[in-house]
Structures are given as structure tokens and as C-alpha cells.
């Protein structure tokens, strides 16, 4: 029996997101609209709307819905932004960001995942303003900088200076920082001189790999 995916999305938005403090109506609308099951391996689609990360292979996961929504909300997007998304994975986070900003550049270290994410975005009609690139996202993507927002879907041992440098002044970087086991979700705003940092929540992500991540 095929699940009622639309019903599952409504339940996710009301029970997992709105009740837990996600208030940005644009974020809630994007999460309600985008078919998360299309970004999950076929054999695991029954788990698509549980509030848990899901294994997508290659040692990577698709983040839990609440964390995807919280990170998007923390960027305070208005619809005109160019966004750098580090760690494409299956492409779901990039799809959400694409519904919230003007342009998304999503960078993935693992070629197979980058190809799969591109297919997922194309199949769901989300590729129009989302570009997937294979490369080391821990050092950003300076070719298209500066960015109005940057989000990182993997945990770094410290905040990569390259990502802060690629932000516009007054723009935000959202990134999990800490050990391999436990991290804090850091929300960093670039200032004309230095940066302002606050903690959004405690979290647990897969490690960020690359020159500015875990070796």
C-alpha cells in the first residue's frame, strides 16, 4: 500500500516542526511542498517523514526534518539570496533552500551522491535554481562568492575561515561545530570587522570531510 505522502508531510510540519518552534511560514510551506520521500533511497522511503536522519550510503545521511527546517529558518531568507549549501547529500536540503532563495549552489564531495542529488532535483522539478557541484565544500566555492547565506550539513572541528570569508557582510553561516560525536549548531553573522556567533541548539551530524574538515 502506497502511503499518503501529502498527509505524512502535513503531520511532519504540524507535529515535528511547528510544535517545536519553527515559526517561519516560508520554511514551513517549503517543507510541506517538497516530497522528502523522493530524496530517500527507495528501500527506506517508509521512513521518510520520521523525525530522524536517514542513511543514504557513502557514510552520509539526510538530516532529520526538524534540523533541516531549523537551519533554513536560522538563515532568515527572504527570497532574493544566493546561497551556498555545503554537503548536498541526496539534494533535499538544497531543494528546501531553492524554495526559499533565488539561487543555490550546492557542493558535494562524493561524486556518486552529487550525481544522485542532481537526478533527484531534476525529477522533482527543483533543479531550476539549484546547481550541484562536485568538490570540497569545506573550503567553499569562491568562484560564486560572496554569498548571502551559507549552510553546512556536516560537522566541522572548527569554523572554516574560508566560509566566513565568502559571506557578504551581515549575512549568516549555519554550521555544526564540535567533536565527531557531539556538536553545537553555530549561527555566525559576518560583520564589517569580525563576526558574531550564537548557538542554535546541540546536534549530531556526520563529519565534514575536506581540507577544512576532518581528515
- Quick check: is 102 in a domain? yes
Question: Can 63 be counted among the known catalytic residues?
Answer: yes
pLDDT digits 0-9 by tens, 38-95? 999 999 999 999 999 999 999 899 999 999 999 999 999 999 999 999 999 999 999 9
> Where residue 207 falls among pLDDT bands split at 50, 70, 90?
very high
- Quick check: is 214 in a domain? no
* CA 104/CA 83 separation, integer angstroms: 5
Give me the catalytic one of 63, 118, 138, 171. Answer: 63
Widest Cα–Cα separation across the chain: 57
For the residues 17-39, what does the mean pLDDT come to? 97
Q: Dig out the grid coordinates for 81 from the structure.
A: 539570496
- Quick check: is 215 in a domain? no
> Where residue 6 falls among pLDDT bands split at 50, 70, 90?
very high
Question: What are the CA-CA distances from residue 18 to residues 39, 112, 169 (Å)?
Answer: 22, 34, 30
Cα–Cα nearest to 20, from 54, 62, 67: 67
Cα–Cα nearest to 75, from 100, 102, 45, 54: 100
Residues 150, 139 contacting (CB under 8 angstroms)? no
CATH code for position 112: 3.40.50.150
- Quick check: is 177 in a domain? yes
pLDDT digits 0-9 by tens, 124-149? 999 999 999 999 999 999 999 999 99
* Number of structural domains found in the chain: 1
* CA 155/CA 152 separation, integer angstroms: 8
For the residues 149-159, what does the mean pLDDT come to? 97
Amino acid at each position: 500500500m502506497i502511503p499518503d505522502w501529502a498527509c505524512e508531510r502535513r503531520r511532519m510540519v504540524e507535529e515535528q516542526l511547528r510544535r517545536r518552534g519553527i515559526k517561519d511560514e516560508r520554511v514551513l510551506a517549503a517543507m510541506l511542498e517538497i516530497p522528502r520521500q523522493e530524496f530517500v533511497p527507495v528501500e527506506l522511503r517508509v521512513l521518510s517523514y520520521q523525525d530522524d536522519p536517514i542513511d543514504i550510503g557513502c557514510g552520509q545521511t539526510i538530516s532529520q526534518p526538524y534540523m533541516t527546517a531549523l537551519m533554513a529558518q536560522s538563515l532568515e531568507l527572504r527570497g532574493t539570496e544566493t546561497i551556498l549549501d555545503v554537503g548536498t547529500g541526496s539534494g533535499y536540503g538544497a531543494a528546501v533552500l531553492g524554495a526559499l532563495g533565488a539561487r543555490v549552489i550546492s557542493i558535494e564531495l562524493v561524486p556518486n551522491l552529487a550525481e544522485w542529488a542532481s537526478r533527484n532535483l531534476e525529477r522533482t522539478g527543483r533543479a531550476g535554481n539549484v546547481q550541484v557541484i562536485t568538490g570540497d565544500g569545506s573550503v567553499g566555492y569562491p568562484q560564486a562568492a560572496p554569498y548571502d547565506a551559507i549552510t553546512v550539513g556536516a560537522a566541522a572541528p572548527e569554523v572554516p575561515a574560508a566560509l566566513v570569508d565568502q559571506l557578504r557582510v551581515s549575512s549568516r553561516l549555519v554550521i555544526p561545530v564540535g567533536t565527531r560525536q557531539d556538536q553545537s549548531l553555530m549561527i555566525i553573522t559576518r560583520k564589517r570587522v569580525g563576526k558574531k556567533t550564537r548557538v542554535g541548539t546541540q546536534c549530531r551530524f556526520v563529519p565534514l570531510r575536506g581540507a577544512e574538515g576532518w581528515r
